[in-house]
Amino acid sequence: MNIKHELIDFFETFKFNITTRGHLFVISGFSGVGKGTIIKEILSRNPQIYFSVSYTTRRKRENEVEGVDYHFVDKETFKKMILKDEFLEWAVVNDNFYGTPKSITLSKLENNIDVILDIDVKGAIQVKSKLPNSTTLIYIIPPTGKELLNRLYKRNTENMDEIATRITTSLIEINYINAYDYIVVNDDLGKCIEDVENILKVQKMSSKVQSLSITANREAE
Ligand code: 5GP
C-alpha cells in the first residue's frame, strides 16, 4: 500500500474525543448592580454549575440564609481560617472580611465541575493569578450611576453610611474593570443574563478548557 492510502486508512479510524475541564467563572460588579439575581437565574438554568458560598464577617441580612448566601462567621474564626490557609482568596471589602473556601472549590474543578464565584476585584485578581487558565473574569456594570443608586435605595438593606461605603468601593473598582475578560451592562436584566450565559458557553469551547484526544474507531477498522 502506498503511504497516501495508508494515511487515508489510518485517518478513517479516527474518533475525536473532547474532554472539558472544570472552569471558574468570576462574576464581579458594583454593589447593587444585580449580580445576585443574575447568578441565581444562571444557576437555575444550569444546575450542573456549582456556586461557591463565601465566608464573611458581615452581618446577615433579613432575607439571607446561612450556608446558602454566605457562611456567616465572626472575625476571630475568619482570622484563624486565614492562618490555616483555608481560602483560595480573601479580601477586606466594605470593612468586612470575605473569602472563598479553597478545598471545596478546587475539588469541584478537579471533578470537571464549573464553579461561579461572586467576589470583588481584589479576589478576582488573586484567583486569576493562581489559576490563570481555569479562570474567566466577568464584570457587570449598571447603565448609569443614578440607576445603581436607585437600586440600592430600593432594596433598603443598607443605611446611608453603608451605601456611601459601597459607592466609595465602586469608585475604586472602576479603575480595575479593564483587568476583566468581559464587561456586561445590566440595563435589561433578561439581556444581561443571556449575555453572561453566552460568555459561559463560548468560554467552555475554548482550547484552554477543552482537550482533544484521538482514539481508533473500531467500526471503521
Ligand atoms: P455583599 O456584602 O453585598 O454580599 O458583598 C459585597 C462585596 O463582596 C461584593 O462585591 C461581593 O462580590 C464581594 N464578595 C462576596 N464574597 C466574596 C469573597 O469570598 N471574596 C471576595 N474577595 N469578595 C467577596
Residue for grid cell 481584589: 122
Which atom in ligand 1 lies closest to the alpha carbon of residue 54? 19
Its pTM stands at 0.93
Dump strand ranges (E) for the chain. Answer: 14-20, 24-29, 50-51, 55-56, 71-72, 87-93, 96-101, 115-118, 135-141, 182-185, 210-216
Measure 112 CA to ligand 1 centroid, in angstroms: 25
For residues 193-221, average pLDDT: 88
Q: Tell me, what's the pLDDT at 219?
A: 61
Q: Which fold has domain 12-52+114-220?
A: Rossmann fold (3.40.50)
Measure 138 CA to ligand 1 centroid, in angstroms: 14
Cα dihedral: 141, 145, 150, 155 (round 10):
40
| Closest residue to atom 16 of ligand 1, CA basis | 119
Which atom in ligand 1 lies closest to the alpha carbon of residue 123? 22
Residue 220 predicted with pLDDT over 90? no
Measure 98 CA to ligand 1 centroid, in angstroms: 6
Residue 210 vs residue 84, higher pLDDT: 84
Residue 174 predicted with pLDDT over 70? yes
For residues 161-188, average pLDDT: 95
Q: How sure is the predictor about 209, in pLDDT bands with cuts at 50, 70 and 90?
A: confident
Residue 93 predicted with pLDDT over 90? yes
Q: Domain-by-domain residue ranges, the chain? A: 12-52+114-220
- Mutational pocket test of ligand 1: of 118, 169, 172, 176, the residue with most ligand atoms within 8 Å of the beta carbon: 118
The amino acid occupying position 189 is L
For residues 129-136, average pLDDT: 95
Measure 125 CA to ligand 1 centroid, in angstroms: 13
Cβ(115)–Cβ(105) under 8 Å? Answer: yes
- Mutational pocket test of ligand 1: of 56, 71, 95, 98, the residue with most ligand atoms within 8 Å of the beta carbon: 98
What single string gives the DSSP state of each residue in 102-138? HHHHHHHHHTT--EEEE--HHHHHHHHHHSGGGEEEE
The amino acid occupying position 18 is I
Which atom in ligand 1 lies closest to the alpha carbon of residue 36? 4
Residue 118 predicted with pLDDT over 70? yes
Residue 21 grid cell:
475541564
